[in-house]
Structure 1
């Protein structure tokens, strides 16, 4: 059982590494337009979470 667990863990680490090789951070500059995720923004009571847009914007970067 421990060998199977180690094998699954190693496969997960390899998949994560392979997936992250194609990702890169986009450098934002002042004046760029970006969208803001609403995931961590609180809204007034009575609004259904599933009806709120996932992103708000575009907003310019100021600093």
Structure 2
């Protein structure tokens, strides 16, 4: 089983998929009802793209 990484932001999840990262599944957020979490394969590329996203949005 591959390592997984949870994303809480729908905008970031969309960006990561646009950049070619593999989303494994979505699920209900158990801590915040009415929200979803986005589960991605935990790869080096995912972390690089997350850093790029953060730089672009700040």
For Structure 1 versus Structure 2, the TM-score category normalised by the shorter chain is under 0.3
**Structure with more of its chain in helix, by fraction:** 2
TM-score when normalising by structure 1: 0.20
Which is greater in Rg? Answer: 1
Question: TM-score scaled to structure 2, two decimals?
Answer: 0.21
Q: Which has the larger share of strand?
A: 2
